Amino acid sequence: MTGQVRTVDGRVAGRRGQATRQKLLDCLSEMLSSSPYRDVKVIDVARRAGTSPATFYQYFPDVEGAVLELAEEMAKEGASLTEFVAGRSWVGRSGWQAAEELVDGFLAFWRKHDAILRVVDLGAAEGDKRFYKIRMKILNAVTNSLTDSVKELQAKNKVDKDVNPAAVAGALVAMLAAVASHQKGFQSWGVKQAELKPNLALLVHLGITGKKPTK
Amino acid sequence: MTGQVRTVDGRVAGRRGQATRQKLLDCLSEMLSSSPYRDVKVIDVARRAGTSPATFYQYFPDVEGAVLELAEEMAKEGASLTEFVAGRSWVGRSGWQAAEELVDGFLAFWRKHDAILRVVDLGAAEGDKRFYKIRMKILNAVTNSLTDSVKELQAKNKVDKDVNPAAVAGALVAMLAAVASHQKGFQSWGVKQAELKPNLALLVHLGITGKKPTK
DNA sequence: TACTTGTCCTGTCATGCCGTCAGCTTACCG
DNA sequence: CGGTAAGCTGACGGCATGACAGGACAAGTA
């Protein structure tokens, strides 16, 4: 599709160029993890990458542009979240297992990419369509899959008709995302990591099936 | 307690000073609603308030400092969220009503303060203890109240013993907060405002009581 | 080896925001 | 009316931004 990586002024980036570009992205990612988004400056990223601000501007229009690039990378990896939902059974013992694995996978993914996800979340909440789309891309796979699960259960009369599958699925996914980005916050309520997971799985199971899980 | 409002250099602010200070806060609030947090500059806020940057720095150490002030204001108002939970019964028909009203109140509060809440969320997620505390202050009231409700139901053997009340309450509150800040996002999944609320209430009810509501 | 070509990087510069200070104006009080 | 403290701003050094032209470098060619 897009194929070649291009600089801001239109040239195609070669081997060396792509390396510097990637190094800048890596350094930006580190900076995002260690300092507030608002304080991440082009000059700092460039310095850390052992290059100059001018070089940065050759590959990205601004900090936000580079962040979008990072986010796209992550979104690709996020496709793997689907495997925790697609084609799973939500009845009986396997339903509980599905819930547990979904929670596990979600929290792990979020923890791994927390810095960039914070920024994506902010951008999306501020109404920036580019960030919004990326957030969708990550969450859609899971949400749609869960939506289908609920619809199926509805068809079998195992879930009430007045439940809106998309609303429930979306809310559960939002819950997982929110809990994941504030994982530390739960410790101050006296909730430990290990305790959090089964309780989240319980909520997911309850939400999808309307019933308590059989463990 | 604190009593007087003070300038950065230690003087007490009088009538006129407080007015300017408040005007700066108001303008900052507007700016936060209309442009990305990263792009909110002191000079813009000052200009909008019809004053100079130097004046801004007389009352606030920086943009973040002023935002904290706004957040504190909001947190005070957030205390009113308690009324949607404290002393409510979660059994039978009134349980459903409690869930519905909690969801309603929460969404309304979030929609009203979305701009500042975005920033507080970001700050908290980035590990800034000041923002973190404010977020706590708002959510704690609701979370603790819900936690108590679950504990009560557990004491009456209406909820399983292996449920961690704090974890469930925290997760539900996080869900409400997350859904509230991405309300627009749900529309692209084909979920309308009006449909969202009852489904959220359902999830809350399921989470607290473990049972489907009787409407 | 010398020359050419296109990629890659940086020095430099105009612009604009940051954050501080000295100093001016305004309000209040005896 | 003079003193005092509050209130505001112009001005300034410092730093980030973003654009450009030109130098460094690698690879291919003769």
CB pair distance less than 8 Å for A190 and B38: no
Give the integer Cα–Cα distance in Å for B74 and B120.
11
Judging contacts by C-beta atoms under 8 Å, the chain A residues touching residue B37 are 38, 122, 126
Write down the pLDDT at residue B3: 66
Identify whether the C-beta of residue A57 lies closer than 8 Å to the C-beta of residue A8: yes
Residue range A185-201: average pLDDT?
A: 87
Residue carrying the six token digits 């230690």: B10
Name which of A6-20, A37-51, B87-101, B187-201 the model is least confident about.
A6-20
Name which residue leads in pLDDT, B4 or B62. Answer: B62
Q: For the segment B40-67, what is each residue's pLDDT rounded down to a tens digit?
A: 999 999 999 999 999 999 999 999 999 9
Q: Find the closest chain B residue to A161 by CA distance.
A: B199
Residue range B1-19: average pLDDT?
A: 81
The nearest CA of chain B is from the CA of A212 a distance in Å of 7
Write down the pLDDT at residue A98: 95
Q: For the segment A155-186, what is each residue's pLDDT rounded down to a tens digit?
A: 999 999 999 999 999 999 999 999 999 987 78
Which positions on strand C lie below 7 Å from a protein C-beta?
6-12, 16-22, 27-28
Write down the pLDDT at residue A189: 73
Residue range B103-118: average pLDDT?
A: 95
Write down the pLDDT at residue A51: 95
Name which residue leads in pLDDT, B215 or A128. Answer: A128
Please give the domain boundaries of chain B with CATH numbers for all domains. 1-61 (1.10.10.60), 72-209 (1.10.357)
Cβ < 7 Å from strand D, A residues 20-59:
41-44, 53-54, 57
Q: For the segment A8-43, what is each residue's pLDDT rounded down to a tens digit?
A: 777 777 788 889 999 999 999 999 999 999 999 999
Q: Find the closest chain A residue to B170 by CA distance.
A: A186
CB pair distance less than 8 Å for A177 and B179: no
Pairs from B26-30 (Cβ < 8 Å, separation ≥ 24): B28/B63, B28/B66, B28/B67, B28/B70, B29/B70, B29/B115, B29/B116
**How long is the CA A9 to C1' C6 vector, in angstroms?**
14
The nearest CA of chain A is from the CA of B2 a distance in Å of 27
Average pLDDT of chain B to the nearest whole number: 93
Per-residue pLDDT at B1 exceeds 60: no
Residue range B131-154: average pLDDT?
A: 94
CB pair distance less than 8 Å for B122 and A200: no
CA distances from B210 to A1, A154, A160 (A): 49, 19, 16
Q: What percent of chain A has pLDDT over 90?
A: 79
